[in-house]
Structure 1
Amino acid sequence: MTRFDASTAATRIELVADAIAAHRERGSPYTTITVEPTDTDRELGHGAPWVQYFDGTVALDCTEYELEQLKSLCSEFSSFSIEELVEPEEAEGTHARLTARTDDERVAQFVDRVFQDVFDRPASYRLWVTDI
């Protein structure tokens, strides 16, 4: 891979699909996709939202509100199902693991929508692949 960020829907989806393919080819433990934190993230004491992909699994941390948005998004993407929700005592929020029974491009479309619909990013947000 030669590029690691994108800011249009088409280029973000292509980048995430390429990152998943590179992760698989390299046999790495996971790939991490993130965005810049907003002022709201900082006010809440959160870092930048992130999504990880590994072995057909999409993982992310979310607030109670974001979890409800994630559940709603899964109703639009029938090939994704929430498999595990962990609420650590020492942290606020929930760690969600979803099973993705689909191809890389559909996973990439889902990830793009997660950042927009769950993490409330605008259509022009910039996505970064930080680990492959």
Structure 2
Amino acid sequence: MYAGGRPNRWARFLNRISSMVFSLGIVGHGAVSIETVNPKSRTLLTLPLVIARFDGNEYAVSMLGQGSRWVRNVRAANGNAVIHAGRRRPVLLDEVRADARAPILKAYLAQAPGARPHIPVDQSEPVAAFEAIAADFPVFQIRDAE
């Protein structure tokens, strides 16, 4: 459904449905919708996302890597985004350095089973195995914008 890191028609349809359901806040387990704005067209992009919880913090992880549209939008917006799960929550997403991502990626795979086919390290591997791929998968710490 994500050949070349891009969603096909079916994945886009499922993302729309998942975004609507996740935004209601009834799913739990870190399921949210993230809203970003395309800096050129000013169009809103809403996608389903599973928030990783690690070491007392929350993180947004790009399971499709550096080329994800939401990642590009967040970077262009200096980290500004909105997380929606029952209520709209303006947030700042601070990008985590690549050398600090490995344990967060491991925790993310334990919490987001749908991401497992996209990340080329098995969740049962030690944290050291995630270090080799950490630079390829953006991770952002979530902070309240207010």
Give the alignment's TM-score, normalised by structure 2: 0.29
Greater relative CO (CA pairs within 8 A, separation 6+): 1
